[in-house]
Amino acid sequence: MDNLTAIVICFMRTQYTIDCIKSLRETYPDIKIIVGEQVEVSPDKDVVDACEKYHATYVCLPWDCGVGSSRNMLINFAETDYILVGDDDFLYDNNARVVQMLTFIKDTDFDLIGGRIVEKGSIRNYQGHIEIGNDYIKTTPIQNPEIVKGFNHTSGLRYEECDLTFNFFIIKKSTAQECPWDNVIKVAYEHHHFFIGLKKAGKKVAFSPDPIVKHKFQDYLTTQKYKEHRLRRQDKEYYFKSLGINYSIGITGKRDIL
């Protein structure tokens, strides 16, 4: 784990962030952790104290700079060749199989390997293939995620090549710097936009059904102010215009237009 850094963004969800880094440190004692807080007035003392307690590096980020911009900055702070990307509402335990994911990406020519999440007791799937047309983007799911085509003996992980995974993955730092997140998109659409960029750049993405992280979905931990920042019309507009498309078809088959 000496060549892996976990990056976590803190944005108006203090307790989520604290619980996340606590679970990372307890599950993976040797992992490097960088926490970036988007600071509005002054650093959140509870977050700073938690970083000290759980031996995480605290970084002060510009207020409301967005998910993509935050990740780009934190990756540049990292001194390792591999980056663990996840949200602040994830809880890690041995089922996350982060060690195996790191072994996989070191042992193969893939640029990224992603897993799944479990929410309210159910495993969620969000992995598939992206088709880029002249005026559209279409995403189709892997039909049966439990039956994948490959097996990596070194890591013990089943896997299949794809274009899109959940927001729980390990990526080569060099790949993330070559294909960064778009700094304009604050939060909505930033994930899909990032994976489209990887596909356009010819990067190799793998999905494994085996690593599973817990999604701590507890709505009472979020504020109305946070919810207002979470969904923004301008992110959707930028997504369509920056890709030069008129519509997209999501992984559930739903058609989306500007």
Which residues are bridge partners to 35 per DSSP? 8, 58
**Residue whose entry in the numeric block shows the structure tokens 């070559």:** 178
Can you give the pTM of this predicted structure?
A: 0.95
Which residues make Cβ contacts (< 8 Å) with residue 172, sequence separation at least 6? 81, 82, 83, 105, 111, 112
| Residues 6+ positions from 238 with CB-CB distance below 8 Å | 182, 184, 185, 189
Residue 134 lies in a domain: yes
Question: What type of residue sits at position 6?
Answer: A
Domain total in the chain: 1
- Distance, first Cα to last Cα, the chain: 43
**Strand-strand pairing, 112-119 and 205-215:** parallel
CA distance 28 to 198: 28
**What is the pLDDT, as a whole number, of residue 107?**
98
CA separation for the pair 205, 58 (Å, rounded): 29
Q: Which residues fall within 8 angstroms of residue 202, CB to CB, at 6 or more apart?
A: none
96: in domain? yes
Residue 42 domain flag: yes
pLDDT reported for residue 33: 98
In a domain, 258, yes or no: no
Question: Could you report the per-residue pLDDT of 200-250, keeping only the tens digit for each?
Answer: 999 999 999 999 999 986 654 566 666 666 556 688 899 999 999 999 999
Ranges under pLDDT 70 in the chain: 217-233
Predicted confidence at residue 186, as pLDDT, reads: 87
95 assigned to some structural domain: yes
Taking CA atoms, 256 is separated from 167, 181, 216, 227, 252, in Å, by 21, 22, 28, 21, 11
- The single residue listed with the structure tokens 């604050």 is 186
CA distance 20 to 22: 5
What domain range includes position 36?
4-253
Element (H, E) at 116: strand 112-119
42 in Cβ contact with 161 (< 8 Å): no
Q: What is the CATH number of the domain that holds 108?
A: 3.90.550.60
Beta strands 150-152 and 90-91, pairing class: unpaired
User: Between vectors from CA 200 to CA 252 and to CA 109, what angle results, nearest 5°?
Assistant: 95
Residue at 14 is within a domain: yes
Residue 140 lies in a domain: yes
Domain assignment of residue 243, yes or no = yes
The pLDDT assigned to 102 comes to 98
Owner of token pair 């939060």: 187
Contacts 24+ apart (CB under 8 A), 104-109: 104/152, 104/154, 104/155, 104/157, 104/159, 104/206, 104/208, 105/170, 105/171, 105/172, 106/82, 107/152, 107/154, 107/155, 108/152, 108/206, 109/204
